[in-house]
Each structure stands twice: as structure tokens, then as C-alpha cells.
Amino acid sequence: MFSDIRLQRFRSYRDESFEFETGVNIIVGPNASGKTNLLEALLVAATGGSFRAKDAELVAFGAPWSRIDVRGTEDVRVVKLLPQENGSVKKEFIINDQKLLRLSLQKTIPVVLFEPNHLLLLHGSPDLRREYLDNVLEQTVSGYGKARRDYRRVLAQRNALLKRGLSVKNQLFAWNIRLSETGSHLAKERHTLVEHINERIGGLYRNLAHSKAAEVQVSYTASCDIVQYSSSLLQALERRQDEDIERGYTTTGPHREDLRLTFNGRDASEVASRGETRTVLLGLKIIELQLLEEARGRKPLLLLDDVFSELDGKRRKALTEVIGGYQTFITTTDADVVVQHFMNNCHIIPLG
């Protein structure tokens, strides 16, 4: 748990400090007052990265450096961001005086984030659903973050070759092998995660909705046989090679796969109402909390960025019941909407 934070030249903050309570912390202020920036700083300190921006965007405009200092019950954390002449940013972490260039899974603090883009999870682009799965896996499976980066790098190399046309056809095989090997790891971990989610989502949805009418299920739509994924993907890459060259990009693999959610066997994106969609998303976030706590052996931080008001009274009550026991940070423009659900047992952080 975090007890306080100091932000220097981070986003819109020049040099400001905030104190936190162990329960619910409500960050309230008008739009553009820095609410999401504060939430983002907590995420960077806990996991090493932002949910919405590259490192260069975290440094206040024109500033030569940026720094986050956080004190918690287990450690003292410092994040330093130093812009370089080539436009990149050198990032350094200091945890209890130990300097690190990257946070391993063991050095991160588990976090569950619920932000406005997640409200598009069911109806939006497959990119959002893949990112959702990958972000959970990065926090629960050791080495997954590296595998994800390796896959992206190999995919970029293969796509760069494809854009050069038929003249590089004989160079693709080595990249096909590497892509199938790295892709297999991603797809199998995603498939396992979705199976765990599917075991819980049906009962949880019925409890949240107080209804037994809908049968909710999730599945992972893999492009290849999940059991023999590596060899199946290699064959698919070879088979589609001419098509990929013509299009200039790789048309199959984990980067094209999806998470599918159904209501009574029908695609949720087609039949789910607004209320049903909100209930499913709330269920997914509760499952995410459970999975992270089980995998890491500690309670995650819960960050709610301007989504509390998007839930109706019944779903707010359900979320309020779950929040108990977790250190929670909620941003809002209207504190009254949030405070009434916590019987004044919360800490208000006013901004702007």
C-alpha cells in the first residue's frame, strides 16, 4: 500500500505531494486538473509503465527530467525519467536504494486499472481485448512481458521484409520460425487465462445482475490449433506467404486473435445491452482482482479512472462491496456521487 507520493515535473505537476489512506482515496477535481495524471503516476511507480502514453510524454513539457517518489508499507520507490537527445527517455527505478533499469515481475506491485477505454472492451477493436489479456498476464506470469516484446520485435522485422516484396521470399523462413515460437507462448498463456476467466464469469455475472436468465461465456479465438500452436502457425505462415507479401503485413498469429464473449451463445457485441455490458466489464475487473491476488499473494491496488459515474446504483453497490480490503484510488469530477457509497469512510484528495 502507498502512504504518500511526490511528483516533480511529471505531466502537469511541477512539484506536489499527496498523502493516502489504506482504504478508499477519492481524487476529485474539474477536467484537466491532473486527476488521471496522479493515477498514472501511481501506476508507473507500481508497474514501471503508463497505460496511455510513452515515457517521453510523462516528462513535463520542456523539462530536463521528471521524478516520482512513493513511500509504501513495504518499500520506498523512486522513478527517474531523463529525456535523451535522440527523443528517447532513460528510465531508472530505485527501490529501497537498489537501482534498476527495468522492473521484473517480482519488483512490481499488482494493479487493477478500470478506465474509460475499458468500457469499449466488448464493442471496440480486438486490440483492446488482446491488450487486456496481455496486461493481466504481464502481472501474473513471469517472463510474459519479455515474450510479448520479443513477439512484437520479430513481427516488425517480418513485416518490414514483406514490404520489400518477392525479392526477400527466401529470407522469410527464419523469421517464420521465430514468430511461430514466440507466438506459441503468447497464445497458450492467453488461452489458459481465458479458461480461468470462463470458470468464474458465469456465476459472477448472475450474482451481479441478480438474474439467472443469461448464460455468459468467454473463449479465445486462436488462429491455430492451441495444442500444437507453434507448428500450426509455422505452416500457416508458409501457406500465406504470398498473400502476406502482397499485402505487406503478417495476416495470422496472436496479433490477429481475439477474446470472444457470448450471451446465451450469441456474440455479446451484438446482443448485450448497455447495462449487461457494464455488468460483464465489472465482472471481468473483479476476476482480475482475484487472479492477481492469487498469483501474487498480495492484494492489488485498485485504480478507477472516471468510471464510477458510468455505473448505475446497483453496479456501484456491487463494486463498493468488492472494494473493501483493497487500497483504492477513484477519480471523479463529482465527489458526492462517490462519497455516498462509502459512508464517509474515505479520504478526499481535492485538485484544481
Cell of 155: 513481427
Q: Is the predicted pLDDT of residue 19 greater than 80, yes or no?
A: yes
Cell of 130: 488482446
CATH of 118-298, one of 3.40.50.620, 2.60.40.10, 1.20.1050.90, 3.10.129.10: 1.20.1050.90
Beta strands in the chain (DSSP E): 2-10, 13-19, 24-28, 66-72, 76-83, 89-95, 98-100, 111-114, 216-221, 258-263, 266-267, 301-305, 328-332, 347-350
pLDDT of residue 74: 87
Lowest mean pLDDT among 15-24, 61-70, 210-219: 210-219
Residue of 78, 99, 90, 74 whose CA lies nearest to 6: 78
Q: Is the predicted pLDDT of residue 95 greater than 80, yes or no?
A: yes
Q: Is the predicted pLDDT of residue 343 greater than 80, yes or no?
A: no
Mean pLDDT of 232-243: 96
pLDDT of residue 23: 93
pLDDT digits over 278-320, tens only? Answer: 889 999 999 999 999 999 999 999 999 988 888 888 888 888 8
The topology under which CATH files domain 1-109+300-352 is Rossmann fold (3.40.50)
Give me the residues paired with residue 330 across strands.
26, 304
Q: Is the predicted pLDDT of residue 107 greater than 80, yes or no?
A: yes
Q: Kindly list the distances between the CA atom of residue 219 and the CA atoms of 133, 194, 197, 284, in Å, as whole numbers in the listed order.
A: 12, 6, 9, 13
pLDDT of residue 159: 96
Q: Is the predicted pLDDT of residue 277 greater than 90, yes or no?
A: no
Position 198 confidence tier, pLDDT thresholds 50, 70, 90: very high
Percent of all residues in the chain with a pLDDT value above 90, rounded to a whole number: 74
- Other CB atoms within 10 Å distance of the CB of residue 217: 16
DSSP assigned state of 75: -
Beta strands in 204-255 (DSSP E): 216-221
pLDDT digits over 126-146, tens only? Answer: 999 999 999 999 999 999 999
pLDDT of residue 314: 82
Question: What is the side-by-side order of every strand in the sheet holding 328-332?
Answer: 111-114, 301-305, 328-332, 24-28, 347-350
pLDDT of residue 169: 82
The domain spans of the chain are 1-109+300-352, 118-298
- How far apart, in Å, do the first and last CA atoms of the chain sit? 25
Looking at per-residue pLDDT, the higher value among 178 and 272 belongs to 178
pLDDT of residue 244: 95
∠ CA 326-331-332 to the nearest 5 degrees?
130
pLDDT of residue 89: 93
Q: Is the predicted pLDDT of residue 40 greater than 90, yes or no?
A: yes
Cell of 45: 511507480
CA separation for the pair 57, 325 (Å, rounded): 33
pLDDT mean across residues, the chain: 93
Query: What phi-psi label fits residue 248: left (phi over 0), alpha (psi between -120 and 50 degrees) or beta?
Result: left
pLDDT digits over 138-194, tens only? Answer: 999 999 999 999 999 999 999 999 999 877 888 999 999 999 999 999 999 999 999
Q: Is the predicted pLDDT of residue 211 greater than 80, yes or no?
A: no
Helix (H, G, I), strand (E, B) or coil at 173: helix
Mean pLDDT of 103-119: 92
CA separation for the pair 91, 169 (Å, rounded): 39
